[in-house]
Amino acid sequence: EIFKIKKYRALRKEFVLEQAKLAESEAQIVIQRKNAAKSAEETLEFIYLGFINDFLTDIANESIKAGVDATSRTEDETGIVFSAQKPMQYGVYAVLSNWWLEKKTSLQKQLSAWGTQSSEDIVRREDEKKKRQEIIRDVEMRQAKEKERRRQAEIARRLYAQEKAAWTFYREERCAFLAERRAMKSQEESMREYLKECQTLDDYSITINSVKNE
């Protein structure tokens, strides 16, 4: 029994070693295959990248040339030239030219609207000017009427003062004339009475003389 156990253990150890060697061999084969595949992949990638680089470089150069040529033709056709450093790609030029055209259209609309507003402002200012002139004329007319009214009132006041002075002078003169007339009348009556008395005395004297003579 002991012999069988030892033999079994030896066989198992041998089997394990063979399996380990087999696994190691398979692992090495796998590693070799991976290395070969990786090497082939790297070689293929190098070749592919080189081809792609050359291909893309050619395409890029052709695209750049085509874009620059298209930009040059469009500049000649439209007359829109930007001050950016050349060469300018057509895509960039198209974006800038579209932006500029939109901006130009917007500015034209704004200028047109501003012109309309400006015309409306001119009309409105003219109307306001006319209204101001009418107001000024009305004020001037009222001032002129008020000035004329004051002038006429002053003339009337002066005429009234002159007329009052004239009436005062006339009344004073009339009073003086009447007083003088009364005085003259009184003197005349006094003279008449005096003469009458004198005549009476004369008549009396004559009568006396006549009586004496008789």
User: What distance in Å separates the CA atoms of residue 140 and residue 148, rounded to the nearest whole number?
Assistant: 12
Within a domain: 171: no
Which tens digits make up the pLDDT trace of 124-183?
Answer: 778 777 877 787 788 788 888 888 888 888 888 888 888 888 788 878 777 777 777 787
Contact at 8 Å (CB) between 81 and 75? yes
Question: Using CA atoms in the order 156, 157, 158, 160, what is the torsion angle rounded to 10 degrees?
Answer: 80
Which tens digits make up the pLDDT trace of 56-91?
Answer: 777 777 777 777 777 777 777 777 676 666 666 667
Within a domain: 106: no
Q: How many domains does the chain have?
A: 1
pLDDT at 82 (0 to 100): 66
Within a domain: 173: no
Quote the Cα angle for 68-96-102, to 5°: 140
Q: What percent of the chain has pLDDT over 70?
A: 67
Within a domain: 108: no
Contact at 8 Å (CB) between 88 and 71? yes
Within a domain: 212: no
Within a domain: 128: no
Within a domain: 145: no
Going by C-beta distance under 8 Å and a sequence separation of 6 or more, which residues neighbour residue 88? 68, 71, 82
Phi, psi of 84 (to 5 degrees): -70, 155
pLDDT at 209 (0 to 100): 59
pLDDT at 212 (0 to 100): 55
CA nearest 78: which of 58, 59, 98, 92?
98
Residue 163 structure tokens? 């007329």
pLDDT at 190 (0 to 100): 76
Half-sphere exposure of 186 (CA within 13 A, CB side): 6
pLDDT at 204 (0 to 100): 57
pLDDT at 119 (0 to 100): 66
Q: Is the pLDDT of residue 25 over 80?
A: no
- For the ranges 76-85, 100-109, 201-210, the lowest mean pLDDT is seen at 201-210
Quote the Cα angle for 14-17-23, to 5°: 140
Q: Confidence class of residue 15 from pLDDT cuts 50, 70 and 90? A: low
Within a domain: 99: no
Residue 33's domain spans which residues? 2-82
pLDDT at 211 (0 to 100): 54
pLDDT at 214 (0 to 100): 55
